[in-house]
Structure 1
Amino acid sequence: MNTYFDNRLVIYQNYFDLKYCQQTFDKLLKEIKWLQKSHNNEGKIVDLPRLTANYGEKSYNYSGLVFNPEPWTDFLLELKTVAENLASVQFNALVLQYYRDGNDRVNWHSDDDSCVGTNPVIVSMSFGESRDFWVRHKTHHDDRHKFTLHSGDIVIMQGDMQHVYVHKVPIEKDKTEARLNLTFRKVVT
């Protein structure tokens, strides 16, 4: 376990073994109801540069998009239990992202929507291709850090992390394989 930014960011490297990671990747890729969502980007309707899905009891809406969550599957409940045990939080929402290759991405953002309350705890699990994960201070842009997340890594963002920092998964043209990312959160409103 590695901690950064005064324990705001915790990374468990290789939390899951490679065999479990491959089985999980294959199962999620096959069983999740992946969506290609579009949004308004400065007056132009464009597809999100990744596929997405929401599961759980509560909807987590973002980028002006509204999601009706699918019910938990037995397997997602198993992963939720892992996340809850690590973070000591009960989660009711899950956002899954399917980065099909290195062209798929998510730009600078923070998960500070009012629906997750003040100082939300978010647990992120990675399966599949390794991808860079950048973190930058919101006001001191030279305070920027790059982490490479591998299959089986778990990241916990907590405290005032979402209010002080933004994060992104950038384009990486040399990445040809897919990555699945699961982010568990507690929606309070």
Structure 2
Amino acid sequence: MDLFADDTRLNPIPIEDGELWFQQRLALDLPPDEVMRRLLAETDWREEQIQVWGKLHMQPRLSAWHGEASYRYSGKTFHPQPFTALQLHIKQAVERVTGRQFNSVLLNYYRNERDSMGFHADDERELGRNPAVASVSFGAPRTFILKHRRLPKTVKLALGDGCLLLMAGALQSHWTHGINKERTPRGPRINLTFRQIHPDF
């Protein structure tokens, strides 16, 4: 049975120790290629320096932080830029589908197959317990990988143009996720991960 046969709603993906939901195409009144073009043009992309295992590294991708609250990860505090009109439009569509509320978004721009995301969990204190993180992708597909922290289990998902992935429940406590570099040439991709930041935590 094709779990993703119905692309008009959020479909559950069976997974242990957490919740994982997927929608093939988020309903927007703009085609994905137009969203991609505008995100590229309207975002102040930056190559950030972060701390990993006590050492400073340049992130292998470009990023931007927008919304209503600051966010700290990898030894660096990111102060938000305001939501753009397009980001708010996407956020509202995500909130309608997921039934969750979000006040911030991290945008990542993968320029080609050499850009990547190291394995990590979105488990920072200001996200609260069992956070919901909604991920929307535009552009060339990339393989999203989840690895269980304790069990020998791995889940791989092809995140394509316009798709929505929701991670929720205890998933961030039990799984890490990332995107590897690839040998096959890949075009540009933009990913938006919407979060609810609790500044007082």
What range is the shorter-chain TM-score in? over 0.9
User: Partner of 1:124 in structure 2?
Assistant: 135
Gaps of 5+ in 1: none
Q: Match for 2:174 among 164, 184, 187? A: 164
Q: Which runs of 5+ in 2 are unaligned?
A: 1-9
For residue 90 of structure 2, what is the amino acid of its counterpart?
Answer: L
Q: Which amino acid aligns with 1:13?
A: Q
Alpha carbons of structure 1 residues 174 and 75: separation in structure 2 relative to 1, 3 Å: same
Return the alpha-carbon distance in structure 1 between the equivalents of residues 55 and 123 of structure 2: 25
Question: CA shift at 1:101, angstroms?
Answer: 0.6
- Residues 42 and 184 of structure 1, relative CA distance in 2, 3 Å threshold: closer
Find out whether 1:26 has 2:33 as its counterpart: no
Between the aligned partners of 1:54 and 1:76, the Cα distance in structure 2 is 11
Deviations 1:146-188 (A, max 9, x none): 1111011100011111111111111112133111000000001
- Alignment match, 2:56: 45
Name the residue aligned to 1:143. Answer: 153
Matched, 1:153 2:153: no
| Match of residue 76 from structure 1 | 87
- Aligned partners of 1:16 and 1:153 also within 8 Å: no
The alpha-carbon distance between structure 1 residues 43 and 188, as it changes in their structure 2 partners (threshold 3 A), is closer
Identity %: 33
**In 2: Cα distance, 1:47 partner to 1:150 partner:** 26
Q: Specify the alignment match of 1:187 in structure 2.
A: 197
Tell me the CA shift for residue 49 of structure 1. Answer: 0.5
Backbone CA RMSD of aligned residues: 1.6
Q: Distance in 2 between matches of 1:134 and 1:31?
A: 29
Give the C-alpha shift of residue 47 in structure 1: 0.8
Give the Cα–Cα distance (whole angstroms) in 1 for the partners of residues 88 and 46 of structure 2: 21
CA distance in 2, matches of 1:54, 1:39: 14
Contact 1:92 1:186 in 2 (8 A): yes
Distance in 2 (CA, whole Å) between partners of 1:72 and 1:48 is 23
Relative distance call for 1:43 and 1:58 in structure 2 (3 A) is closer
The TM-score, its normalising length taken from structure 2, stands at 0.87
Contact 1:54 1:93 in 2 (8 A): yes
Tell me what 2:121 maps to.
110
Give the length in aligned residue pairs. Answer: 187
Residue number in structure 2 paired with 1:3? 12
Moved beyond 2 Å, runs of 4+: 14-17, 39-46
SS in 2 for 1:61: strand
